[in-house]
Each structure stands twice: as C-alpha cells, then as structure tokens.
C-alpha cells in the first residue's frame, strides 16, 4: 500500500513537496514504465526516508491500483487527478472513499483546466475538498490568477480561492496543500519568474498569517522544471508537469529539494 501524507508535515514549515501529474499524456503501459523509473530515482536517494522532502505522483485514474503496487515500500505518495464530491448516483465520477481504498492519500482539486473547461466553480471545489478530507485524503488545492498581475493583487485572488474552498473555515486549511499555479503560466514555455512567484507567495502568506495559517504548505506549479526551486523564497516545493515525464528531471528536482531541506526552513 502507498504511504500517506505524513500527518505532521503540514505543521513543519521545513517540509518540501515535489510531485508530478501525468494528466492524460501517457497510456497505461507507458505510465507504469514511467512510475518504475520514478521509483528508481526515489530509491537511489535514501535521504528521502527522513521525510523532509515528500515526493508524490499523480497518474490517471485507471493506473492507480497498479501504481500503488509499483511504489509500495517507497516514500512516494500516490495521488489522484480528481475526485467526486460524494458517493452515490454520480455517473462517471470517482468517490474519494474508493480512491482511499486504492491507496490514494492526495487528490488534485480545483485545477485551472477543470475550472475553465469543465465549469467547476468555487462551490463545487469546496464540496470536493470537504469530501476528500472526510475520506482521509489530503486535497492538493490548485489556485492561481488568470493573468499576470501585481503580486499583492495575485495573492488576493489566491487567498479568496482558498477561503472559498474551505467555506471560510480557516482551521480546515490544516488539511490542505496549496498548489499555486498562475493560469497564464500553465503549459507555457517557461515558468513565471522566480521573483514574481516568491513575491506572490510572500504576500499570500502575510494574508494567511492574519488567519493564523501562514505556514500552510504552498508549492509552485506552471511549467516548473529543474533549476527553479533554488531561486524561490517561502515556497514549499514544486508541482511538476511535462518536464518530469523524464524521470531524471524528477530526480534533479528531488536533489534540489533535499539540498534546500538541509539549509533549513522555508521561511
């Protein structure tokens, strides 16, 4: 069975998270080959066992049972790309309770593509967050501004999305990991500038601190790749995309995260 997200990691600001979603880019067999390659990258870095860097993988739904077997016994966390908001008559959805049975302990919710093209609004994302937490699964809540803005303005947008996803119950954020993904940077040739990312996250943490949750894990996604993490300040890790389809790139970012963890806290 796959590992769970460490229960105390949300309360340790020094914890880094490095993960990747395959979206729909890989077929079934290709996904398993990739997962075995990622497992090798993790196995050759025994320092990951200390838990200061938490690696995770999010393959397509049909791959999840086999993925749990591939990564069993490693520090890798298994995630899912989406979940429904309840058990019952929701054709085509997958209940969080079933994902939990399959060894999933992390679920990506509120991604910009689902918000834009599948019309998932804040209310639906909030229902999914509540259902995931009830099933014992950590929501990886995707948030981000539509267009590049002043960092303070972008942070205000993201803060509003987090508030909406928890129904304004800030104590509920203790169950979340935030994936800050500026919509304009998703699928771009390069990520947002490191200074911009750091400024937005710094401003966001200041807003969150007013609610007593300034140490919430916030990772960056949006064309993220090796070389970015060492340039970031107050960011808890990276949510990688197509650059990590080469497992060696995933390993490179793990090395960067391990080095950062050695240096000390995110803040």
Which residues does the annotation mark as catalytic? 111, 181
Structure tokens belonging to residue 204: 């966001």
186: left (phi over 0), alpha (psi -120 to 50) or beta: beta
Which residue matches tokens 């650059």? 243
Tokens matching residue 82: 């989406």
Distance in angstroms (rounded) separating the CA atoms of residues 200 and 107: 24
């Amino acid at each position: 069975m796959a590992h769970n997200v460490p229960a105390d990691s949300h309360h340790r600001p020094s914890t880094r998270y490095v993960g990747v979603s395959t979206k729909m880019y890989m077929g079934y067999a290709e996904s398993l080959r990739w997962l075995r390659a990622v497992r090798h990258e993790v196995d050759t870095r025994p320092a990951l066992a200390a838990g200061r860097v938490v690696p995770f993988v999010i393959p397509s739904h049909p791959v999840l049972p086999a993925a749990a077997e591939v990564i069993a016994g490693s520090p890798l966390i298994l995630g899912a790309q989406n979940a429904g908001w309840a058990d019952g008559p929701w054709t085509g959805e997958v209940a969080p309770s079933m994902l939990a049975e399959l060894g999933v302990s992390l679920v990506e919710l509120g991604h910009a593509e689902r918000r834009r093209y599948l019309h998932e609004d804040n209310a639906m994302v909030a229902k999914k967050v509540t259902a995931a937490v009830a099933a014992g699964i950590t929501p990886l809540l995707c948030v981000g501004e539509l267009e590049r803005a002043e960092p303070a303005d972008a942070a205000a947008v993201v803060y509003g999305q987090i508030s909406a996803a928890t129904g304004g119950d800030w104590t509920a954020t203790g169950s979340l990991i935030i994936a800050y993904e500026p919509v304009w940077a998703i699928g771009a040739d390069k990520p947002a500038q490191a200074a911009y990312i750091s400024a937005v996250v710094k401003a966001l943490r200041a807003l969150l601190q007013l609610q007593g949750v300034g140490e919430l894990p916030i990772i960056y996604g949006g064309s993220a790749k090796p070389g970015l993490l060492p340039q970031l300040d107050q960011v808890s890790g990276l949510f990688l995309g197509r650059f990590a389809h080469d497992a060696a790139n995933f390993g490179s970012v793990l090395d960067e995260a391990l080095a950062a963890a050695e240096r000390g806290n995110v803040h």
